[in-house]
Amino acid sequence: HAQAQATATTKPKSEKRTAEAKEEGTLTTNHGLPVADNQNQLKAGVRGPVLLEDFIFREKMQHFDHERIPERIVHARGSGAHGYFQCYESQADITKAAFLQDPAKKTEVFVRFSTVAGERGSADLARDVRGFAVKFYTKEGNYDLVGNNIPVFFIQDAMKFPDLVHAVKPEPHNGIPQAASAHDTFWDFASLMPEINHMLMWVMSDRALPRSYRMMEGFGVHTFRLINAKGVASFVKFHWRPKLGVQSVLWDEATKINGKDPDFHRKDLWEAIERGDFPEYELGLQVIDDATAAKLEFDLLDPTKLVPEEIVPLRIVGKLVLNRNPDNFFAETEQIAFLPTNLVPGIEFTNDPLLQGRLFSYQDTQLSRLGGPNFHQLPINQPKGCPMGFGTNFQRDGMHQTMVPKGRVAYEPNSLDGGKGPRENPAQGFISAPEEMTGPKVRKRSETFGDHYSQARLFFRSQNETEQRHIINAFTFELSKVQSKEVRVRMLAHLAQVDATLHSGVAAGLGMKETSETLKPAVPAHDLPPSPSLSILGKA
Ligand code: HEM
């Protein structure tokens, strides 16, 4: 905080920005021609029509006409900040990732927080999941931890992602409603997808209404793999813990704030950083060896399950500090491209079928969102921490290419012109850890993914009374907006599987008869040991 105050008192950033702007020289066109008049079009007489030859006007207007780029298909509404990550001590026993080795080294980061369902101009305090995406500019290239503020997900297989998002987004015929969850299509889909039930508990909880981006947790969601220098692998779950603790607003507060100040979270983050009150989070790892993984009563590859901290506690390994606002919202917060495929040696994927689908989707969407295959050249996406540079390869040309490679050799192997050019580097290059792969080619889900209710029950029963009441109220409010009785009845049947109090509370709120007997799940819920760490208020 001493450092923070010094920054705040000696150099308010907004003033600096104004000063820089004033120093700009002559106004020019994009092609370098000085502009003499930026107020008037070229006309045939002062009251006459405008001349087609006014290339200065046309250039200005044409550039303006093309200012917007497509918004992200999901997570369109977001806010970002620069900062750094620093580990507390070397994690060499579990991973060879360079940014987790040296406590003296700070690794630059850019973080983007977001809502998922709303459009770019939507309100910050919708009941929704929040994105928590971190780009680490490490010396081994960019590592992106593209996470959320909820540790589980709606679906188990990426095949269902377009359906989930179509169900959540405004209905296609009339663009209504914008609210993430309060409508028929979302609940219709949810009621037909039993695997969604654990996630629903979180989305109907206070977690979906964070008080501030500075007061929310982040999770990698999927299980990943850590590999150390000896090649020993362990499973890992990533967690971000806010230094300010997890805090939420009430539903009533959220609706009022959305009306009065739809930029509530964006402003809160910006202003905290401007005044030097830098948001901080700690990185925690749940490291799970193969023997422990085999003993868990669920499948680590299933992204609708979490590992209770009572079973595998967090190992706190470092801190993330956000200490600089973007200079330009578009160039940084909008143009940043997070890729779950941005890995560094020492961190790898698992076969989680949701994660495996994400490995394709992000690069693919960014090809159109950012206009072609060269978006890695945008300043915010360049791996600025990496001494090897980037794009040191024989890929060439493409839309929005800004590099000017020399020479005629654009292939490898090559020998012309002295056989120059980049070569493979087995000593430092990325090598996937060898993993046995067998099995028939099938389009099928593992039976170990079959229990859709036990962890939903665990979450609900781990909440204190107030938190449970909020969940019941949220389900009641959201389902009360659903016109289809059939959908409401189906949802009540799921809630009955999760917990009797939850079910009867929502049924009473909706004024509906209880419907608990209608559903016979293949794997009924069973009771799990309590997990007090899942309660925010219980923890406080
Ligand atoms: C953004 C796809 C699941 C976190 C996106 C984008 C796509 C996408 C296409 C827009 C990217 C862009 O335009 O740059 C998918 C698919 C999923 C999936 C296909 C499942 C199959 C998840 C999960 C998480 C997550 C499980 C959390 C662990 C995010 C975040 C962003 C995002 C944080 C916003 C990144 C930013 O701020 O730019 N996702 N997603 N997604 N996704 Fe996913």
Q: How high is the mean pLDDT of the chain?
A: 93
Q: What is the mean pLDDT of residues 73-90?
A: 98
Residue keyed to tokens 């208020």: 537
Q: What's the confidence (pLDDT) of residue 13?
A: 52
Residue 103 is which amino acid?
P
Which tokens go with 432?
A: 């996937």
Give the pLDDT confidence score for residue 12 in this predicted structure: 45
Ligand 1: which of 361, 375, 381 to mutate, judged by most atoms within 8 Å of the beta carbon?
361
Is residue 148 among the annotated active site residues? Answer: yes
Spatial separation of the C-alpha atoms in residues 396 and 55, rounded to whole Å: 32
**Closest C-alpha to 1, from 170, 164, 243:** 243
Query: Which of the four pLDDT bands, split at 50, 70 and 90, describes residue 20?
Result: low
CA atoms of 132 and 124, how far apart (whole Å)? 14
Beta-bridged to residue 148, according to DSSP, are 131, 219
Say yes or no: CB of residue 378 within 6 Å of ligand 1. no
Q: How far, CA to CA in Å, does 77 sit from each of 112, 116, 164? A: 10, 7, 18
Distance 358 CA to ligand 1 centre (A): 7
Q: Which atom of ligand 1 is nearest to the CA of 72?
A: 13
Which of 146-155, 178-187, 257-266, 491-500 is least confident? 178-187
pLDDT at 247: 97
Measured from the Cβ of residue 235, the count of other Cβ atoms closer than 10 Å reads: 21
Strands (E), 370-463: none
Kindly indicate the confidence band of residue 45, based on its pLDDT and cuts at 50, 70 and 90.
very high
ipTM of the complex: 0.95
Residue 317 near ligand 1, beta carbon < 6 Å: no
Q: What is the mean pLDDT of residues 505-515?
A: 89
CA of 262 to the centre of ligand 1 (A): 23
Question: Contact, 63 vs 69, CB < 8 A?
Answer: no
Residue 265 a catalytic site member = no
Q: What is the mean pLDDT of residues 421-432?
A: 90
- pLDDT tens-digit readout, 483-509: 999 999 999 999 999 999 999 999 999
- pTM (2 d.p.): 0.94
Residue 540 binned pLDDT confidence (cut-offs 50, 70, 90): very low
At 288-298, the pLDDT tens digits run: 999 999 999 99
Q: 103 C-alpha vs ligand 1 centroid, how far in Å?
A: 30
Mean pLDDT of 415-430: 88
Tell me if 248 sits within 8 A of 209, measured CB to CB: yes
* Residue tagged active-site, from 142, 148, 374, 381: 148
